[in-house]
Amino acid sequence: MMDGQNVYILKATCKGVIGTVARITTFLAERRCYIIEMSQFDDILTGRFFVRVVFSTTPGRTPAFDDLKRVFGEQIPHAEEDFQWEMHDTLVRPKVLLMVSKFDHCLDDLLYRQRTGDLKMEVPAIVSNHPDLKSLADWHNIPFYHLPVTPETKASQEARLLEIVAETGADLVVLARYMQVLSQDLCRKLSGRAINIHHSFLPGFKGAKPYHQAHDRGVKLIGATAHYVTSDLDEGPIIEQAVERVDHSHRPENLVAVGRDTECMALARAVRYHIEHRVFLTGNKTVVFR
Domain ranges in the chain are 7-89, 96-288
CATH 3.20.20.70 fits 96-288, yes or no: no
Fold match between 7-89 and 96-288? no
Other CB atoms closer than 10 Å to residue 273's CB: what's the count?
A: 19
What's the CATH number for 7-89?
3.30.70.260
Q: What is the pTM of this model?
A: 0.91
- Contacts for 246 with CB less than 8 Å, ≥ 6 apart: 219, 220, 221, 222, 254, 255, 258
Beta bridge partners of 165: none
The DSSP code for 95 is: B
Helix (H, G, I), strand (E, B) or coil at 257: helix
Other CB atoms within a 10 A radius of the CB of residue 212 amount to 15
Q: Cα–Cα distances in Å, from 223 out to 105, 203, 213, 215?
A: 15, 10, 14, 13
Could you read off the pLDDT tens digit of each residue along the chain, which spans 290 residues? Answer: 444 458 999 999 999 999 999 999 999 999 999 999 999 999 998 999 999 999 999 887 788 999 999 999 999 998 889 999 999 999 999 999 999 999 999 999 999 999 999 999 999 999 999 999 999 999 999 999 999 999 999 999 999 999 999 999 999 999 999 999 999 999 999 999 999 998 875 446 667 787 787 767 666 778 899 999 998 877 888 899 999 998 899 898 998 999 999 999 999 999 999 999 999 999 889 999 99
Active site residues: 234
SS (H, E, C) 265-287: HHHHHHHHHHHCCCEEEECCEEE
As beta bridge partners, residue 138 has none
